[in-house]
């Protein structure tokens, strides 16, 4: 194999696929730590693949001699970073030695047989969903903080994607809170319900763009979901299992509704954080007519704030985790939002009229 490629294009390709390189000790000196440079056809493909996520991207360059080679990904990344800008030539010999040459600089490193690399499986493109990349990125970003960090329930370490009746619903839950985003989509016939690992989604939102004019295509397969945009393909292994049914949470009844300026409440709750630290004490929310009081007492001191809001229903006092409430409020773009309460022992809801977003925070069980 012999190719010629600019440093910037080379680094862009490496940086895209390297997120699928396994860095754990399980695969020391294995192909899982490598990326594949495939110039066996009329394009240059960079591929990385582990057990959970695989990424392929096409890189601009000149193919002088066809072939493929697997190279230790992070070693290659560090090597290319230190080469001056300009054209870089990469070629291999029959002993799988890779020569990287730029001007007077020359590296000779050991590669691995490209034919032994675990390339991406062929993608089935029959069942697909096309969605704007900015919308999808926002939906994931504004729900993924609710997934569980514990390995006790693998399903809760992922997010539920449900496509049904022309609607995409993304849900995350960790036992203490729920985040839901809904978005109308063009395909009303597609009916799919899957669970995607949160770890993979965190890498995906780093890769996909934020262009409101560009779309991304999702391909649904029995055990995988593929994301395709521009010249990049990401394939994710799904979590095998049924997501928790949280539809019963979405009740419309409430005893108290509090409508307020979102920024004012965010600022007030953020002022409680220095007092909490390792105490993890909840804030006490006391709603009395059109007054919203925030109270906190910890080993470091106390905090009090009073906001003037619009309320409906009965007075209520409830204990909530301020960080969970803040995460939800910061994920909302509306200037004015409403909190809904049933009682001090029932969840607190934040939602808009169309249920395009629903955030649920469970109360903290303490004596008030």
Q: Which CATH architecture has domain 2-116?
A: Roll (3.10)
In the CATH scheme, what is the code of domain 250-361?
Answer: 3.10.150.10
The alpha helices in 18-92, defined as continuous H runs, are 73-81
What is the average pLDDT value for the chain, to the nearest integer?
Answer: 93
| pLDDT of amino acid 264 | 97
CA distance 127 to 220: 6
pLDDT tens digits, residue range 142-178? 999 999 887 678 899 999 999 999 999 999 999 899 9
| pLDDT of amino acid 26 | 47
Handedness of CA 284, 290, 291, 292 (dihedral sign): positive
High-pLDDT (> 90) share of the chain, %: 83
Token digits for 114?
């490209």
Any long-range contacts for 204-211 (C-beta under 8 Å, 24+ apart)?
204/140, 204/234, 204/236, 205/137, 205/140, 205/141, 205/144, 206/19, 207/16, 207/19, 207/55, 207/232, 207/234, 208/133, 208/136, 208/137, 209/133, 209/134, 209/137, 210/133, 210/134, 210/137, 211/133, 211/134
pLDDT tens digits, residue range 193-249? 999 999 999 999 999 988 999 999 999 999 999 999 999 999 999 999 888 877 766
pLDDT tens digits, residue range 7-30? 999 999 999 999 999 766 444 557
| pLDDT of amino acid 250 | 65
User: Model's pTM, two decimal places?
Assistant: 0.91
Start-end of CATH 3.10.150.10 domains in the chain? 2-116, 128-237, 250-361
CA distance 42 to 252: 57
pLDDT tens digits, residue range 346-359? 999 999 999 999 99
The strand pair at 105-110 and 112-113 is best described as: unpaired
- pLDDT band of residue 105 (cuts 50, 70, 90) is very high
Q: Which CATH architecture has domain 128-237?
A: Roll (3.10)
Edge-to-edge strands, sheet with 97-102: 62-65, 2-6, 87-92, 97-102, 105-110
| pLDDT of amino acid 24 | 60
| pLDDT of amino acid 29 | 52
Token digits for 124?
């089935």
């Amino acid at each position: 194999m012999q190719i010629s490629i600019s440093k910037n294009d080379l680094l862009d390709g490496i940086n895209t696929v390297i997120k699928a390189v396994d860095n754990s000790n399980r695969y020391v000196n294995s192909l899982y730590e490598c990326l594949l440079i495939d110039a066996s056809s009329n394009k240059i493909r960079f591929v990385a693949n582990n057990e959970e996520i695989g990424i392929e991207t096409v890189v601009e360059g000149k193919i002088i001699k066809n072939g493929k080679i697997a190279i230790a990904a992070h070693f290659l990344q560090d090597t290319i970073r230190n080469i001056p800008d300009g054209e870089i030539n990469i070629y291999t010999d029959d002993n799988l030695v890779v020569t990287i040459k730029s001007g007077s600089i020359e590296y000779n490193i050991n590669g691995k047989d490209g034919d032994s690399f675990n390339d991406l499986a062929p993608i089935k493109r029959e069942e697909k969903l096309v969605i704007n990349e900015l919308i999808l990125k926002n939906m994931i970003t504004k729900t993924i903080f609710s997934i569980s960090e514990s390995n006790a329930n693998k399903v809760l370490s992922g997010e539920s994607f449900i496509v049904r009746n022309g609607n995409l619903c993304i849900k995350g839950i960790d036992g203490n809170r729920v985040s839901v985003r809904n978005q109308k989509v063009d395909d009303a016939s597609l009916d799919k319900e899957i669970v995607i690992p949160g770890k993979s989604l965190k890498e995906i939102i780093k890769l996909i763009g934020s262009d409101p004019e560009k779309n991304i295509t999702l391909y649904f397969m029995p055990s995988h979901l593929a994301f395709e945009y521009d010249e990049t393909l990401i394939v994710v292994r799904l979590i095998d299992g049924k997501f928790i049914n949280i539809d019963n949470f979405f009740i419309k009844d409430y005893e108290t509704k509090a409508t307020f300026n979102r920024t004012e409440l965010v600022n007030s709750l953020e002022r409680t954080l220095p007092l909490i630290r390792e105490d993890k004490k909840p804030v006490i929310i006391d709603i009395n007519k059109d007054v919203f009081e925030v109270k906190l007492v910890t080993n470091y001191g106390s905090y009090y704030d009073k906001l003037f809001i619009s309320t409906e229903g009965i007075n209520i006092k409830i204990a909530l985790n301020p960080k969970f409430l803040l995460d939800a409020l910061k994920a909302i773009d509306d200037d004015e939002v409403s909190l809904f309460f049933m009682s001090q022992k029932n969840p607190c809801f934040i939602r808009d009229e169309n249920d395009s977003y629903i955030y649920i925070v469970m109360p903290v069980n303490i004596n008030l």
